[in-house]
Amino acid sequence: MNGSRRFVLVDRDGTINVEKDYLSDPAGLELIPGAAAAIRDLKQAGFGVVVITNQSGIGRGYFTLEQLAAVHDRLVQLLAAEGATVDGIHICPHGPGDACACRKPLPGMVEQAVAEHGFDPAQGFMIGDKEVDVELGHAVGATTFLVRTGYGRKYEASTKADHVVDDLAAAVAVIRADQP
């Protein structure tokens, strides 16, 4: 593993883009203000950035993998328009009742990202708007952030997150302030 490069694992819906239940139309994708700049800042500081997202709409039959790929193409385009890139996007297409190892808070998507990029998740960070994001972060040893965007305020009072912040940009500010 490449221990020198730290990675930030970021939830998609409600963290990078505005939460829209079961988003399947690329035209409906809307970045949360400041999210692209925050990702750009992480990349410029030398961090890897991987999106980790449950997409049970596929398992539920609400949309297809092709529709999801179009949404992710649009996400990449919107980020690029603001000078931001991600190292990868990992999805769990399964529904809550499916027996899989990848649905958050299980670590399967992080294991895929580690296999692809060779990093130690315990040296990294997990940022999301739901407690399953926090639980995933703890499961892989990462420092966790709950953002108040998306569904975050719903979990704020009971979260086990290491940090509770307003949004992705605020999480990145904490990460950057803690850099050696």
Active site residue 133: no
Q: Is residue 88 situated within a structural domain?
A: yes
Domain range enclosing 48: 7-177
Q: Which residue has the tokens 């990460």?
A: 175
Q: How many domains does the chain have?
A: 1
String of b and e for 121-131 (b: at least 16 CB within 10 Å)? beebbbbbbbb
Q: Is residue 116 situated within a structural domain?
A: yes
Backbone angles phi, psi at 68, to 5 degrees: -65, -40
Active site residue 13: yes
Q: Which residue has the tokens 């988003």?
A: 23
What is the CATH classification number for the domain harbouring 124? 3.40.50.1000
Q: Is residue 57 situated within a structural domain?
A: yes
Neighbouring CB atoms inside 10 A of 56's CB total 16
**Residue 169 to residue 65: CA distance in whole angstroms:** 29
Q: Is residue 1 situated within a structural domain?
A: no
Q: Is residue 120 situated within a structural domain?
A: yes
pTM above 0.75, yes or no: yes
Q: Is residue 132 situated within a structural domain?
A: yes
Question: Roughly what angle, to the nearest 10 degrees, separates helices 35-44 and 168-177?
Answer: 20
pLDDT at position 32: 98
29 contacts 77 by C-beta, under 8 angstroms: no
pLDDT at position 1: 46
Q: Which of 13, 41, 129, 167 is catalytic?
A: 13
- Residue-by-residue pLDDT tens, the chain, 180 positions: 445 799 999 999 999 999 999 999 999 999 999 999 999 999 999 999 999 999 999 999 999 999 999 999 999 999 999 999 999 999 999 999 999 999 999 999 999 999 999 999 999 999 999 999 999 999 999 999 999 999 999 999 999 999 999 999 999 999 999 876
**Strands 163-165 and 48-54, bridge-based pairing:** unpaired
Q: Is residue 170 situated within a structural domain?
A: yes
Residues 6+ apart with CB under 8 A from 62: 22, 24
pLDDT at position 3: 54
